[in-house]
Structure 1
Amino acid sequence: MQKLFQRLSKFISPNKLAKWMMRFSPMYKRSTGRITYISDDFTEINIEIKLSYKNRNIAGVIFGGSLFAATDPIFMIQLMQMLGSRYIVWDRAAEIKYKRPATPAAYAKFILTKEDLEKIIQEVNKNGETNIEKTVHLTSKDGNTIFAEVTKTMYIADKGFYKKKIAAKSK
C-alpha cells in the first residue's frame, strides 16, 4: 500500500490521495468512518461517522466499536506522512472512554502541531525512539457534546535505530 501511495503521490497531492485511498480502503470502510478533510501538511485530519444500519447497536445509537475503529489509524497516518520514511511509526496502545450515546453522527478532529513534530524529532534524535500520547474527542457536529474520548499511544523511532533494536532481539 505504501509503494502504491508513493507512486501515485507523484501525480496527485498526498493529502487528496490519502483521503481517496482511505475512502475506498476495505478495512477503513468497515469502520463506517469517513475522512472529510486532510490539510496539505497533514497537521489536521477530520472524520465523520454517521449512524447507519451498518453501525447501529441494539440501543439504536452508533456502536462503540465503530467509533473506536474509525479513529484507530488516523494519528499513525498523520505521523507517517509528517515525519517521512526516515522514521518508524507504530500504534502502541489505545483507550476509549464513552461519555454518552452517539447519534445521529460523530465527528473528530485529529490535530498534530509543528511543535508536536519538533518535540518528537528532538526525542528521537536524543534517544533513538519515543512514545507519544494524543487524545481526540468524538463529538456532535457543533462540538458541544462529547460522545467519547480516545487516547492513542504511538511509538516513533529512527529507522536505523529500530532495525538495530530488532536485530539485537532476534539474536
Structure 2
Amino acid sequence: MKLSTLKRVPPRWRAWVMRVGFNFHPAFRGTGGRVAYISPDLTHVRVRLPLARRTRNFVGSLYGGSLYAVTDGVHVAMLLTLMERDVIIWDKAASIRYRRPAYTTLHADFRLAADELAQIEQELDAQHETSRRYTIELKDDLGNIYTVVERMVYIADKHHHKQKMQGSPASR
C-alpha cells in the first residue's frame, strides 16, 4: 500500500492499516521485527524484535542486521503520513552502535512531537528542504539499552526537489 493511499483511509483506521502494512510488507517482514503498536495520531510507533531462530546469529544473540533493519523506514513513513504537504522523504544516512549482545526480545520506540512537525513545516517554508537526526534505542523489557541507531532523514518540498534534480548534472 502506498502512503498516499493511507491518507484516503478514515483517520480512525489509519494506525491499524499502517501497522498491518508494515507487518505484511516483505522487506520489513524479513527483518524479523513486528510493529506492535501505533498510536491513533500516528506520532508513536513501537517495534518488537524477538529473539527467534530467524533473528539469531551464530553465537545465539540477535543478529546485527535485524537490529539495524528493524529501524529502517519508520520515521519516513510517520513523516509522510503526518506532513500536510507534498514532500520527498528518505533516509539520508544511518549508523549503529552495539552496546552489548542481546539474548532477549528488544523494543524500539519511534516518536514525533507536534512541535517538531511544525518546526519542519517552518523550515520547508523558508528553505524548501531540511534534515532531521533521530536516535532510536533498542531496549529490553527492563529498559536496558542494547543498541543505539541514529538515522538522518532528508525532507524536501516535492516541487523544490524536482527542480533541484532537473538542474543537477548527476540527474542527467
Give the structure-2-normalised TM-score: 0.92
How many residues were matched structurally?
170
Moved >3 Å (runs of 4+): 3-8
Structure 2 vs 1, CA of residues 2 and 84 (structure 1 numbering), >3 Å: closer, same or farther?
A: farther
How much does 1:90 deviate? 1.0
Partners of 1:48 and 1:81 lie apart in 2 by 21
Structure 2 vs 1, CA of residues 84 and 33 (structure 1 numbering), >3 Å: closer, same or farther?
A: farther
Indicate conservation of the 8 Å contact 1:42/1:78, yes or no. yes
- The residue aligned with 1:119 is 119
- The residue aligned with 2:67 is 67
How well do the aligned residues superpose, as a CA RMSD in angstroms? Answer: 1.8
Give the structure-1-normalised TM-score: 0.92
Partners of 2:77 and 2:118 lie apart in 1 by 17
- The residue aligned with 2:163 is 164
Structure 2 vs 1, CA of residues 100 and 134 (structure 1 numbering), >3 Å: closer, same or farther?
A: same
- Structure 1: 5+ residue runs without aligned partners? none
- The residue aligned with 2:106 is 106
Aligned residue for 2:56, secondary structure, equals coil
Indicate conservation of the 8 Å contact 2:44/2:109, yes or no. yes
Aligned residue for 2:41, secondary structure, equals coil
Indicate conservation of the 8 Å contact 2:15/2:38, yes or no. yes
Partners of 1:3 and 1:68 lie apart in 2 by 23
- The residue aligned with 1:26 is 26
